[in-house]
Chains A and B, each alone.
Chain A
Amino acid sequence: MDDIKLTKLSECAGCGAKVGAGVLAQLLSDIPVQRDPALIVGFDKSDDAAVYKLSDDLAMVMTCDFFPPIADDPYTFGAIAATNALSDIYAMGGEPRVALNIMAVPEGMPSEVVHEILRGGYEKVAEAGASIAGGHSIYDEEPKYGLSVTGLVDPRRLLTNAGARPGDVLVYTKRLGSGCVVTAAKGGLASAEQVAAAEASMMTLNRYARDVMVRHDVHAATDVTGFGMLGHTLEMAQGADAAIELDAAAFELLDGARETARLGILPAGMYRNRHFAEAEVDAEGVPLDMVDVLFCPETSGGLLISVAPDDAEALTADLRADGRVPCAVAVGRVLAHEGGKRIRVRGA
């Protein structure tokens, strides 16, 4: 079982397999949207998960996420895929309750490999305090795994990616660069330590950051995945009709991320994200490798939290004090949009 290199079976890496944002919007543009007033976050918004209001103080949060192998070890792949799928619930301020497996495996795949993928998923769902209630599996040449997750949230405390207010401080809770390191690993160009650090980050639930975040004066949140830091930041700015200034130098990076970018080991998703967002991004004076890292798809990235300025310091202090949140750094701020590009990246 040790010889199986799962990532060799996948074309794209993790969230890099995501269909580009522009493509998606176009695909959905002429499909009529059902209007149900209880569906308070749905198809027509580019948010992390759908939200269905059951009563004044209770709503369901639903999401679904799966991708081809991002790690060679099946347990690690299962755990990362599950962590990533659960993340959308946390990004909305919710708590996951029930999950369903989504799985595709090649017919010849040894059963112990399949078992390990599932074990990774079950353990993460258990750590999230939720249960796996079933799922669906099919045969497919390229393995895929993920979850459909349902969680609960108080609709009055729901956090969308559209609530940011000018003046807010943006806090990010993981080290950036998982997409770069994963791509390098696929080419055998990342060290074992670099891969281990990236995998540990991708397997860290955003639960802990979420649990701290909901105790603070937070206006918006999103998890950073396939559209990369700049793509998700742009969504947040557009959703709030605001502008955002990011401080490139503030980000904590995974070891190897910028080196990888400089060598040109960048996945197709980085170029897709660039095409989608670069018209709204001013990154003049920032080194290309850093901008590439900011455009690169993240897999199971952290939470990007828009917090009231007078609570920003307390939030970062609490996130750091928790001990299970990988990092907590103020990476930018929300500004009024006065024309021009919505995203400005400073320094490096």
Chain B
Amino acid sequence: MGMTMSQKILAAHAGLENVKPGQLIMADLDLCLGNDITTPVAVNEFEKAGFTTVFDKDKIALVMDHFTPNKDIKAAEQSKQCREFAAKHDITHYYDVGCMGVEHALLPEKGLVTAGELVIGADSHTCTYGALGAFSTGIGSTDLAAGMAKGKAWFKVPEALKFVLTGKKSPYVSGKDVILHIIGAIGVDGALYKSMEFTGDGLAELSIDDRLCMANMAIEAGGKNGIFEVDEVTLAYLKEREIKQPKVYKADPDAEYAAVYEIDLSQIKPTVAFPHLPENTKTIDEVGDVKIDQVVIGSCTNGRLSDMAVAAQILKGKKVAKGVRAIIIPATQLIYKQCIKLGYIDIFLDAGCAVSTPTCGPCLGGYMGILADGERCVATTNRNFVGRMGHTGSEVYLASPAVAAASAVTGRISAPEEVMQ
């Protein structure tokens, strides 16, 4: 029996010729990631287990992004613990305030992940790097501790769902709309324990930013990982970074899939996930009159330069609606700088938006945009669970940067075309 892309990468890292779905393997890791929330738990476990050295100081990335610049004393203590661990073990890829970014935007930007690699991260959205043809998945802090110490993790080899993308996207439709459409179709556990493998002619329609956004949300369908077939677009992106050598794995023609879905991109409309699950999707023409109090544009899902570009295009020369707070968070220092150079920050400020230094902040209800009881937010983030962004009586609507920016202008959930006429 043939293997999927994910199965091939796992087999190669376990030193095996072949793996089968359900098989439990021990594999060698190319990179382990932690952040300021999950690393302290990992450091405690690392030390409790008696480890004194890391397996490879170049293969660990620690990014202070969730509650940084630190939101309170306890968060500051946690960052301090990470900082001291990084210094003690001379961790090469330690990113703190001033050089950090939201981890899943930062690592691809820095060229720290390439095709064919096996990456774990103590953050559920680590699945993002599948956009570059890596097998990449979220794990917990104990797995991170073991990864940092030994460079190994255990995996159950996943079955796969295959998504064959065809057709051309309509204007203002982005990777966010495609992945929300898919999650709406298969549900929040539709890909439970499985890989989501993306292929087909429609890939050419999707930029790396679109793909990073889609792979990022594989976890919102329960997926173990999301992975894109490597093409010219991927290789061009990786070549620009030229730090690591990509290794391209293609699925065997006789690879087996638990299910195959054909997704015609031309049929996808801007899509919004209503509270309180990412599967509660409606297309923009079905949303009705939903008044909002806040807009957040940013995060590991949609804080990249192309997200900022579309937000700027829509907000240019317009004003944020009265009574709406619009918060824009470029995901990395580099993206922030590019936004300044390209004039986007001026556009945002003139429109009446608040612009923040990179942080995960409001996405997980940390700080920098917490919601009160009864408030509604359109966010380009990835989760809309009860209380995710603040009070348990608040509501989060997940959407693309185009829909979020248009909604900021009108004060209710709106199609981009409504403000671009």
Binding between chains A and B: no
Show the binding face of A for B, using Cβ within 8 Å: none
